[in-house]
Amino acid sequence: MTTDAAPAEVRLSSSEALLWTIERDPLLRSTIVVVGLLDRPPDDVRLRARLAAAAETFPRLRQRVEPDRRGLRWVDAGTAFDLDHHLRRYRLAGSGSLRQVLDDAGVLAGGTFDQARPLWQVVVAEGLEGGGAALIVKLHHAVTDGVGGVELLPMLTDPADGDRPARLRKSARTTRREPQVQRVLRTAETTVEGIASHPAASLAAVPRVARSVGRLLRPAGPPLSPVAAGRGLGRHLDTLEYPLDALSDAAHAVGGTLNDAFVSAVIGGLHRYHEKHGCAPDKLRVTMPISTRRPGDAPGGNRFTPARFVLPLAIADPAERMRAVGEITRAWRKEPALALTDVLAAALAHLPSDVTASVFGSMLKGVDFVATNVPGVTERTWIAGAELLRLYAFAPPSGAALNVALLSHGATCCIGINSDTDAIADPEVLSDCLADGFAEVVEVGACHDGTETPPTFVAPAAVDRAARLTALDTAFLQMESTNTPMHVGALLELDEELLLDEHGELRITEIRTELASRLDRCPRMRQKLQEVPLGAARPLWVDEPDFDIARHVHSLALPPPGTHRQLSELCATLQMRLLDRSRPLWEMWFVSGLADGSVGLIYKVHHALVDGVSAAETFELLLGDGPLGDGPVPAVRRTVSTSPVSGTRLLWDAAVDSFRATVDAGRTAAQALARPERAVQTAAQVAAVLSRARFARGPWPNRPVGSGRTLAAATFDLRDVKAIGRKHGATVNDVVLAVVTGALRSALVAGGSPPTRPLQALVPVSLHAPDARGEVGNLVTGLVVPLPVDADDAGARLATIVAHTTRLKSGPEGAGMAALLRAADYWPVPALGATARLVGHQPFVNVVVTNVRGSEDPLRLLGAAVRQITPIVPLGHNLPAGVAVLSYAGALVVSVYVDADSGLDADHIASSFTEAFHELHDLKELR
C-alpha cells in the first residue's frame, strides 16, 4: 500500500501553539483522556494494525513538537516512534471495576508526555467485570480538540464495508488544513473588506469590538467558589450517564438546546455541592469551548474558541435555569472577539512563552469549571473485534476546579467528570450532587407533554418526611445502652488470595475504593442522624458532607496462631462498641492473620438503619457482582435525603409533621367510621396481641445482660433442611425453630436445669415487598412462638412448632402487631421513648430467633469469594440469647449470640444445633 509522503514540516496553528506553550505552567496542562468500555478485550494484532494504519493516515500520531527560531513545528519522530511505547495492555486486579479503570485513567490524566515522542498513548485494561475491557486513550490537546477526536475515531474502528478505510484516507490526505498565516490573513482580509464596505458602521463598532476583546482576555481574578479554590496536579475521574432523549426532551420543553440542559444540570449540581459545604455563592465562572469547524475541515486539529462567562448559581427552578443559561450562551456566541480568535491567538503565540503562560494563567485559574459538549458516534461501533459500549471523555480542567464533558454515544449521554483533587476534596459528594442536578433537569422533560408549559419546579422543603426515622427505627436508638448495642451484625469469611498483597498485607486502600464505588447502591450508608431540638420529633437521615470511607472500613491482623475462635471473640468484642452517632451508622473490619489463609470481615450496622432483611440485602448490593432485581444497577440511584438544616427549621418542620400526623389520624378515624367492619377487625387484631402478652416463665430468668458476648455457629446444607420440611409438611422456618428448640433443650439439660415449660421466642416477620430491592429501615413485625424445650422427642417438638406457626399465620396476631407499629408513628417522641425503654426491659419473651433469606449466588469483593456469612442479632436489655439464621449460596448458617454472664455456653449450643438437626433428619414420622 502506498501513501502520499507526509509534509517534512508543518507549523503548529495558533491555538495548538498556545495549548503547548501554556504548559510552562503545569496547572494549565492540556491532556485529554478518553475511556471506552468494550464488551470483550480487543484483538491485539488487529488493534496494533489499526493504530499503525492510523499513524500513516493522520501524521500527528507519528510527529512530535519541536521549537525553532520561528516558533513551533510538527516534525516526524523518526526512530523515536515506537508503537510498543504508545500501546500497552494490563489486567485489572480483583473484580475489575469501572472505578479501578477510572483511577488508572486519572493517573494518566495527571501525568506528562515524553516530548521526544508523539503525544498520545493507548492502554487496554483487561479483566473488567462481566468479561469486558476498557480502552484508555491519552492525547495532548495540541493534537486535536474533542470534535476532531470524534472525527478521528473511524481510524480505529472496524470497517462496516470494504472501502471505508480508503474513503477515510482520502479525506485525511486530500483535505489540507489551511496554513496558519493564510487563516490569519483571511480573517484580516475579511475585516478590511467589511470596513471598506461599511466604514461608518465599522468605526462605530470599534469600541464594542475593543470591549469584547477586553472581556475575552482580561484576567479572571480569584475563583468565585469559596470551597473549590485550590489548584493542583491530581486528577479524579468519575462518570454519569443519561438517555440522550431525556436531556433533549428537557431542553425542548423550554425551547432550548441540549447544551442548555447539560450546563443547567451542572450548575444545579454545583449549587447542591456548595450548599453541602455551608455556602452558596450567587454565581460561578465557566469556560465553554465553542467549535468553529466548518464542512470540509479535515479530522483532527483544533478549531474551537473558548467562551468565558459567569452563570447564576441559585436559580432553583431547572426550567428557568435552562432559559437563563440559553440566553447567556447565545449572547456570548455573538461576541465580536470570538471572530478574531485566530488573530488574537497568533499575537499571543508570538509573545515570550513565559508571558503567554502568565497571561493565560490569569485568564484560566480563576475559572470555576469548564463545560464541554461534544457530539459523538450514533451507530454501533467495533474496535478490533470488540463492541464499543460506552465512550467517556475527560477534558482537562486547564486551571479550573473541574471539567464536566458530555459525549453522546448512540442513545446515551456519557458524562465525564475530571476534577482537580486540590479543589475537590470529596469527589464522591460532587458526583452525587451532579447526579441530582441532572435528575431534576431530566424531570422537566418527563413532566412536559409537548402541549403545555411544564409545571414550575418547586424547590424541595428543607426536610423531607421520608427522611425522618420511623417509630420503630427510633425505638432501636432509644433502647440502646452500653450493654445493649443495637447492631445488626455479621461475620464473613472470604478467600484471601485476591485481598492480600505479595507481603500478606490487606489491600485495604483498594478494598475501600471498591466499596466506596458501590455505596450508591445503599445511599443511606452515606447518611447520618440529625436530632431535632428538644426531642420535638423523630430524628432525620441527612447527607454526611465529610463522608470518608476510611472512617468506616478498617483493618486488623490477628496474633498467632490465628484461629477462628480468636476471630469470633474479636467479632463479639467489636460488636459491643457503640457506633459514633455523628457519622453514618456502620463499620467494617477486615481481619488478616488467620492460619487457614482466609480473611475475616466483621460487619455491623445499626438496627435503626436496617432490619434483618435489608441488612442481608446490603451484603448483596455491596458484595454482589450481579444486577439489582431484574434490571441493571442504575448509574444513579436517587434517594430521599436532606442536608443538615438549622434548629429553628427543624422545629418548624416538626410542628408541620405533627399537624400532618393529626390530619392523617383524623382521616384514618373518618375512614374507620365509614367502614366500621374494618375498624372492628383491626381492634380485634390488636386486642389479640395484647391478650396474649403474658410474662414468660421460661427455664431462665429475664435479667439484665452484661457487657460481654460469645458467638458460635453451625452450618447445614439448605437442600437437606428443605427435604426435612417436605417430608414432614413443615416450612424451612419450622425446621429451623425445631433445631433451635432441640439445641436449647440440650444446653439446659447439660447445665443441670431440665426445662419443664416452653421458652417464648420472638420471631420477626418481614413486611418488605417480595420484589423490593435496596429498601432500608425497619419493615418488620413479630410473632411470639412457644418453643417446646420441655419435650424430649424431636418429632414432638417439630409437630408442636408446626401447629403453633400454622395457627399464628392464620390468626390475628401478626396483623395486630403491624397495626400497633403503624400507630406508633403518630405518637409524640417522649411517649415513644418511654415505650421503647419499657419494651427494652420486656418480660414477655426469652429469646429472639430471626431467619433471613440471603443471596443464592456467591458474593465477591475484588474477586475474592465470600465463603460463609454468620449473622448476628442484637440482644435486648434482658434477653440472654439471640439466634440468627441466614441462607447463603446453598448453605444455612445458624448462629447463637449469648450474654457472657448468662451461664449459657455458645459453643455447646452450636454443636447441639448439629445434634438436633440429625435427630430431625433421622425421623421417620412426626408424633
pLDDT digits 0-9 by tens, 778-837: 555 667 888 999 999 999 999 999 988 887 765 555 454 555 555 555 566 666 556 656
User: d(Cα 886, Cα 899) in Å, to the nearest integer?
Assistant: 21
pLDDT digits 0-9 by tens, 72-86: 889 998 887 889 889
Question: Residue 873 — φ and ψ, nearest 5°?
Answer: -105, 135
In this prediction, residue 385 carries a pLDDT of 92
User: d(Cα 679, Cα 663) in Å, to the nearest integer?
Assistant: 18
Which residue's entry shows cell 440471603?
Answer: 854
Closest to 471 in 3D by CA, of 460, 459, 483, 479: 479
Handedness of CA 380, 386, 389, 390 (dihedral sign): negative
User: d(Cα 527, Cα 271) in Å, to the nearest integer?
Assistant: 19
- Cis-peptide, bond into residue 561, ω within 30° of zero: yes
Name the burial class of residue 613, with classes exposed (0-12), middle (13-18) and buried (19+) by CB atoms within 10 angstroms of its CB: buried
Segment 99-104 mean pLDDT: 94
User: d(Cα 254, Cα 267) in Å, to the nearest integer?
Assistant: 17
Report yes or no: 736 and 894 within 8 Å, Cβ to Cβ: yes
Banded model confidence at residue 308, pLDDT cuts 50, 70, 90: confident
Segment 265-289 mean pLDDT: 91
User: d(Cα 867, Cα 596) in Å, to the nearest integer?
Assistant: 13
Segment 253-258 mean pLDDT: 90
In this prediction, residue 745 carries a pLDDT of 92
Segment 642-655 mean pLDDT: 62
Residue 762 has pLDDT above 80, yes or no: yes
Residue 116 has pLDDT above 90, yes or no: no
Segment 868-877 mean pLDDT: 92
Mapped onto helix, strand or coil, the DSSP state of residue 118 is coil
Buried b (16+ CB within 10 A) or exposed e, 569-591: bbbbebbbeebeeebbbbbbbbb
Number of C-beta neighbours around residue 462 at 10 A: 14
- Between the two ends of the chain, the Cα-to-Cα distance in Å is 89
pLDDT digits 0-9 by tens, 546-599: 899 999 999 999 999 999 999 999 999 999 999 999 999 999 999 999 999 899
Range with the poorest average pLDDT among 331-335, 540-544, 588-592, 775-779: 775-779
Cα-Cα-Cα-Cα torsion 31, 35, 36, 39, nearest 10 degrees, comes to: 150
Report yes or no: 408 and 390 within 8 Å, Cβ to Cβ: no
Percent of the chain past pLDDT 90, that is, above it, reads: 39
Report yes or no: 848 and 762 within 8 Å, Cβ to Cβ: yes
Q: How confident is the prediction for the chain on average, in pLDDT?
A: 78
pLDDT digits 0-9 by tens, 885-903: 999 999 999 999 999 988 8
Segment 186-207 mean pLDDT: 43
Residue 30 has pLDDT above 50, yes or no: yes
Number of C-beta neighbours around residue 848 at 10 A: 20
CA distances to 213, 328, 374, 691, 810 from 814, rounded to whole Å, are: 76, 61, 58, 13, 9
Cell of 685: 387484631
Segment 527-536 mean pLDDT: 83
List, in sequence order, every residue forming a beta bridge with 720; answer none if it has no partner: none
Which element (helix H / strand E) includes 796?
helix 794-810
User: d(Cα 603, Cα 861) in Å, to the nearest integer?
Assistant: 14
Cell of 526: 452515606
Report yes or no: 741 and 894 within 8 Å, Cβ to Cβ: no
The DSSP call for residue 24 is G
Q: Long-range contacts made by residues 667-675, C-beta under 8 angstroms, separation at least 24? A: none
Report yes or no: 105 and 35 within 8 Å, Cβ to Cβ: yes
- Bigger pLDDT: 791 vs 702: 791
List, as one string, the DSSP characters of 702-765.
Answer: -----S-EEEEEEEEEHHHHHHHHHHHT--HHHHHHHHHHHHHHHHHHHTT----SPEEEEEEE
In this prediction, residue 652 carries a pLDDT of 65
User: d(Cα 543, Cα 643) in Å, to the nearest integer?
Assistant: 5
In this prediction, residue 793 carries a pLDDT of 92
Predicted model pTM? 0.50
CA distances to 8, 497, 549, 555 from 525, rounded to whole Å, are: 60, 28, 10, 19
CB proximity list for 65: less than 8 A, separation 6 or greater? 12, 20, 72, 73, 74, 75, 115, 119, 142
User: d(Cα 480, Cα 876) in Å, to the nearest integer?
Assistant: 8
β-pair type (369-374, 283-291)? parallel
In this prediction, residue 823 carries a pLDDT of 57
Report yes or no: 355 and 24 within 8 Å, Cβ to Cβ: no
What count of residues does the chain have?
927
Banded model confidence at residue 839, pLDDT cuts 50, 70, 90: low
CA distances to 290, 374, 405 from 395, rounded to whole Å, are: 14, 11, 6
Residue 188 has pLDDT above 70, yes or no: no
In this prediction, residue 572 carries a pLDDT of 94
In this prediction, residue 677 carries a pLDDT of 58
β-pair type (780-787, 402-409)? unpaired
Number of C-beta neighbours around residue 3 at 10 A: 12
Backbone Cα Rg of the chain: 33
Closest to 738 in 3D by CA, of 784, 700, 806, 788: 788
Buried b (16+ CB within 10 A) or exposed e, 708-720: ebbbbbbbbebee
The DSSP call for residue 11 is E
Residue 420 has pLDDT above 80, yes or no: yes
Banded model confidence at residue 540, pLDDT cuts 50, 70, 90: confident
In this prediction, residue 504 carries a pLDDT of 83
Residue 199 has pLDDT above 50, yes or no: no
pLDDT digits 0-9 by tens, 457-487: 333 333 444 577 877 788 888 888 899 999 9
In this prediction, residue 379 carries a pLDDT of 85
The DSSP call for residue 460 is P
Banded model confidence at residue 198, pLDDT cuts 50, 70, 90: very low
User: d(Cα 138, Cα 35) in Å, to the nearest integer?
Assistant: 9
The DSSP call for residue 439 is H
pLDDT digits 0-9 by tens, 32-53: 999 999 999 999 999 999 999 9
User: d(Cα 515, Cα 860) in Å, to the nearest integer?
Assistant: 11
Segment 858-878 mean pLDDT: 90
In this prediction, residue 538 carries a pLDDT of 81
Residue 183 has pLDDT above 60, yes or no: no
- Residue 290 φ/ψ region, left for φ over 0, alpha for ψ in the -120 to 50 degree band, beta for the rest: beta
pLDDT digits 0-9 by tens, 446-465: 765 444 444 443 333 334 44
Range with the poorest average pLDDT among 156-165, 507-516, 734-743: 156-165
Report yes or no: 867 and 888 within 8 Å, Cβ to Cβ: no
Strand order in the sheet with 63-68: 10-11, 71-76, 63-68
Banded model confidence at residue 334, pLDDT cuts 50, 70, 90: low
pLDDT digits 0-9 by tens, 355-402: 555 655 566 788 999 999 999 988 889 999 999 999 999 999 988 999
β-pair type (553-557, 586-592)? parallel
Range with the poorest average pLDDT among 67-81, 292-306, 584-598, 722-736: 292-306
User: d(Cα 457, Cα 439) in Å, to the nearest integer?
Assistant: 13
User: d(Cα 841, Cα 576) in Å, to the nearest integer?
Assistant: 19
- Bigger pLDDT: 586 vs 678: 586
Banded model confidence at residue 723, pLDDT cuts 50, 70, 90: very high
User: d(Cα 881, Cα 531) in Å, to the nearest integer?
Assistant: 31
In this prediction, residue 68 carries a pLDDT of 82
In this prediction, residue 185 carries a pLDDT of 41
Residue 165 has pLDDT above 50, yes or no: no
In this prediction, residue 860 carries a pLDDT of 87
Banded model confidence at residue 633, pLDDT cuts 50, 70, 90: very low
List, as one string, the DSSP characters of 531-584.
Answer: PPGGG-S--EEEE-TT--GGGTEEEEEPPTT--HHHHHHHHHHHHTSPP-TTS-
Residue 760 has pLDDT above 70, yes or no: yes
Cα-Cα-Cα-Cα torsion 681, 683, 685, 688, nearest 10 degrees, comes to: -130
Residue 203 has pLDDT above 60, yes or no: no
Range with the poorest average pLDDT among 11-15, 624-628, 825-829: 624-628
User: d(Cα 260, Cα 840) in Å, to the nearest integer?
Assistant: 56
Name the burial class of residue 846, with classes exposed (0-12), middle (13-18) and buried (19+) by CB atoms within 10 angstroms of its CB: buried
Q: What angle (nearest 5°) sits at the alpha carbon of residue 215, between those of residues 212 and 220?
A: 170
Residue 637 has pLDDT above 60, yes or no: no
